[in-house]
Amino acid sequence: MTKTIGVIGGMGPAATVDFFAKLLAATPAERDQDHLRILIDNNPRVPDRNAAIVGRGESPGPQLAKSARGLERAGADVIVIACNTAHAFGEEIEAAITAPLMSMIDATADAAMARKPSRVGVLAADGCRRAGLYQRAFEARGVEPLFLADELQLDFMQLLYRIKAGDTGDATRLRMEQLATGLNARGAEAVIAACTEVPLVLSADALAVPLISSTDALVARVVAFAIQG
């Protein structure tokens, strides 16, 4: 008997579609009935994570916890969040459920370690950086995380909001590539797409070093967990 995956989504919705599509692609299946049951709460009304973490808005914690509880009640055996920054509220979510919350941060850091890097470049949103999620994950693994310089981080945030508004065009792709390549030039031996909007405009073949997608890392881990039953 396989496990049911519960996905807290909507941050943003297009990243949740991408996460859902990749869950299917990662599942060995020939017919509908071979696929996993997946429950999704695409709740884009969750207050802005970045604003809350920098102290400029309502906390999304209670809504994320409620979403997790609803998914568990509907039958989810394991909960995932299709958003890195929202993991800053992980403890509040875990306190609301009995099912395990499988971390996108840990899955991504572990996937990066397969490349044995000593330095990784991390493309992460302001809130995710401010909350120290990847700093702690990589420091625990003896790896130095490199982030964008402040003025480039501003560009990166603008790109994220453009992607959320539906702009995945060439200019957006090119700028994202430049930001990733810049981290590589500073010595990163791998680049981490530490925000689920990044893979919507950046693919591995655009870079000279490995690109570790947080979406792919968590998808691979949770599908393996769910299939094993």
70 vs 210, which CB is nearer to its own copies?
70
90 vs 197, which CB is nearer to its own copies?
197
DSSP letter assigned to residue 38: E
| CB of residue 54 to its own copies, shortest distance in Å | 17
DSSP letter assigned to residue 197: T
Q: How far apart are CA 115 and CA 134, in angstroms?
A: 17
Name the residues annotated as catalytic: 83, 195
| CB of residue 107 to its own copies, shortest distance in Å | 21
114 vs 224, which CB is nearer to its own copies?
224
Binding footprint of its own copies on the chain (CB under 8 A) = 10-14, 16-17, 20-21, 24, 29-46, 48, 70-71, 73-75, 161, 164-166
Residue 225 backbone dihedrals phi, psi, to 5 degrees: -65, -45
**Residue 73 three-state SS:** helix
Q: How far apart are CA 55 and CA 155, in angstroms?
A: 21
Centre a 10 Å sphere on the Cβ of residue 186 and count the other Cβ atoms it contains. Answer: 13
Which candidate, 116, 115, 114, 120, places its Cα nearest to that of 144?
120
DSSP letter assigned to residue 2: P
**Side chain identity, residue 171:** A
| CB of residue 49 to its own copies, shortest distance in Å | 10
Residue 55 backbone dihedrals phi, psi, to 5 degrees: 80, 20
| CB of residue 226 to its own copies, shortest distance in Å | 12
| CB of residue 164 to its own copies, shortest distance in Å | 6
34 vs 139, which CB is nearer to its own copies?
34
Burial class (CB in 10 A: 0-12, 13-18, 19+), 51: middle
Cβ contact 62:45 at 8 Å: no
